[in-house]
Amino acid sequence: NAGVIQTPRHKVTGKGQEATLWCEPISGHSAVFWYRQTIVQGLEFLTYFRNQAPIDDSGMPKERFSAQMPNQSHSTLKIQSTQPQDSAVYLCASSPRDSSYEQYFGPGTRLTVL
């Protein structure tokens, strides 16, 4: 079985440009989570969806960041007007059922903002 798929694996953008990151959860999983990992801040929760509905976006920067899950097979994280401090590894995870405990992580997208 394929794991969580994230594309692209690496993305380089210029300051002020837009970045869209894609996540395909494991087939049959009903929750998708987004996290960000940096050396300074570590692993930080951003947002999550359960059955395509947004549940908690408390970790999302209020400006410039948005996430969607238009269907059960993919989610996107969009960053508008990227800034150097947005440089990080963005991780997507999925979970198989309501209130299931374990989350299965994708390989991440390394975003570099120049």
Partner 1 sequence: AQKVTQTQTSISVVEKTTVTMDCVYETRDSSYFLFWYKQTASGEIVFLIRQDSYKKENATVGHYSLNFQKPKSSIGLIITATQIEDSAVYFCAMRGYGNEKITFGAGTKLTIKP
SS3 content of the chain, % helix, strand, coil (to 5): 5, 55, 45
Q: For residues 82 and 103, which CB has a smaller minimum distance to partner 1 in the complex?
A: 103
Interface with partner 1 by CB under 8 A: which range of 15-23, 56-64, 68-76, 78-86? 56-64
What's the rounded Cα separation, in Å, for the pair 112 and 56? Answer: 26
99 part of the interface to partner 1, by CB under 8 A = yes
Distance set, CA 82 to CA 17, 28, 54, 78 (Å): 5, 33, 23, 10
96 part of the interface to partner 1, by CB under 8 A = no
CB of 37 to partner 1, least distance (A): 9
Distance set, CA 91 to CA 4, 109 (Å): 10, 7
Choosing from 48, 69, 82, 111, the residue that interacts with partner 1 (CB under 8 A) is 48
Choosing from 13, 50, 68, 76, the residue that interacts with partner 1 (CB under 8 A) is 50
